[in-house]
């Protein structure tokens, strides 16, 4: 920090019925190597033992404050309340079922201190399943240019190929940017993609830092939100409404034909995922209908130049063939659990 006093970091932790996981999360936050933090727990009217656990932590660590909503405000309301309660120079909104590497705050503060022009910093993640078993390390897309900061153009082009690769629970944002520019997350418009909307809004005005290192361990189990969302999704992912709005608006002159082909295959990947879920649910005609246009000549041709695209086409074909085979429900459920193994 070049002799500068450590800036205060506010770690907001929205909770709701998190008794099974919040202790591990708080333990990982309180043992951070960066010490000048305030931990703001915002409980959304939990009905389990969450409050008992977080209040015990607060008794032992004076950096922890606990706020309780009188009634459940929903995910949007609770996230926005975190922004309202944020203090200090930097704010991070963490998830109550994840575990954070002990250096995440220190490394992210260092990145923002080194680049005063950047409004936010993100790190990569490692997923883990039942019993703490590591599942996968996530890294930055290889197509991203190397640099200290990244612009809207850099990030959005990569998103059109890979989806939203910015891990929401790793975000650290300058508090004044959260309060005076982002202000709130627009769940009403973008639902589960509201985080992506917040990041793109920031990128329209400021560059961001990206740390290509897993500093978050996020839980991927049958009880987790991400698992349940993935295995039940049969409608188009909310992310595509967000991307469509930008393609037709702000980003229209920043993208080219290659970006649009990448985006077409990203949508096709979503079609394959949804068709697989319909297959598991027993809606075989629905699965086939969703994949009907997937094997047109243009898609086949464009898949020949990319292993990733070819895998999407082959996965879609496999689901299409399976939809003609009347597998028993138990077998379909087994295939589901194998695919989203936690």
- Residue 164 falls inside a structural domain: yes
Helix residue ranges per DSSP H, the chain: 22-30, 50-60, 74-85, 104-114, 152-162, 175-177, 187-190, 194-205, 225-232, 239-248, 257-281, 284-291, 297-303, 307-322, 329-339
Query: Could you list the residue range(s) of the whole structural domain that residue 126 is in?
Result: 9-222
Same domain, 218 and 265: no
Alpha-carbon torsion 156, 159, 164, 166, what sign? negative
Is residue 19 within 8 Å of residue 53, measured between CB atoms?
Answer: yes
d(CA 69, CA 65): 13
Residues in the chain: 342
Phi, psi of 38 (to 5 degrees): -120, 130
Number of domains in the chain: 2
pLDDT on residue 136: 84
Structure tokens at 75: 């995910």
What would the mean pLDDT of 261-285 be, rounded to a whole number? 94
Residues 6+ apart with CB under 8 A from 32: 100, 102, 103, 104, 105, 106
Full-model pTM: 0.91
- Give the pLDDT confidence of 75-122 residue by residue, as tens digits: 889 999 999 999 999 999 999 999 999 999 999 999 999 999 999 999
In the predicted structure, residue 145 carries a pLDDT above the cut 60: yes
pLDDT band at 202 (very low <50, low <70, confident <90, very high): very high
- How close are the terminal C-alpha atoms of the chain, in Å? 40
Same domain, 215 and 275: no
Residue 104's nearest CA partner among 11, 200, 227 is 11
Same domain, 77 and 183: yes
Same domain, 33 and 181: yes
Same domain, 103 and 197: yes
């Amino acid at each position: 920090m070049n002799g500068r006093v450590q800036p205060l970091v506010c770690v907001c932790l929205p909770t709701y019925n998190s008794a099974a996981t919040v202790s591990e999360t708080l333990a990982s936050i309180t043992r951070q190597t960066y010490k000048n933090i305030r931990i703001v727990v915002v409980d959304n009217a939990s009905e389990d033992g969450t409050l008992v656990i977080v209040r015990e932590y607060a008794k032992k660590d004076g950096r922890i404050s606990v706020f309780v909503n009188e009634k459940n405000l929903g995910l949007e309301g609770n996230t926005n309340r975190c922004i309202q309660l944020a203090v200090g120079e930097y704010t991070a909104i963490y998830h109550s079922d994840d575990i954070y590497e002990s250096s995440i705050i220190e490394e992210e503060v260092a990145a923002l201190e080194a680049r005063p022009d950047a409004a936010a910093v993100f790190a990569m993640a490692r997923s883990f399943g039942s019993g703490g078993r590591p599942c996968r390390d996530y890294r930055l897309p290889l197509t991203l240019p190397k640099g200290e900061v990244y612009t809207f153009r850099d990030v959005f082009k990569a998103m059109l190929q890979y989806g939203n690769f910015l891990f929401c629970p790793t975000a650290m944002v300058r508090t004044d940017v959260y309060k005076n520019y982002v202000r709130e997350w627009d769940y009403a418009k973008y639902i589960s993609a509201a985080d992506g909307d917040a990041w793109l809004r920031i990128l329209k005005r400021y560059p961001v830092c990206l740390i290509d290192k897993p500093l978050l361990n996020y839980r991927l189990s049958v009880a987790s939100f991400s698992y349940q969302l993935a295995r039940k999704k049969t409608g188009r992912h909310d992310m595509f409404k967000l991307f469509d709005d930008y393609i037709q608006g702000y980003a229209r002159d920043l993208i080219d034909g290659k970006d649009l082909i990448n985006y077409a295959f990203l949508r096709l990947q979503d079609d394959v995922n949804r068709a697989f879920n319909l297959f598991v649910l027993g809606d075989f005609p629905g699965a086939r209908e969703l994949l009907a246009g997937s094997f047109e000549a243009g898609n086949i041709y464009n898949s020949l130049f990319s292993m990733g695209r070819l895998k999407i086409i082959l996965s879609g074909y496999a689901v299409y063939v399976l939809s003609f085979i009347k597998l028993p429900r138990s077998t379909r459920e087994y295939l589901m659990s194998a695919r989203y193994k936690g």
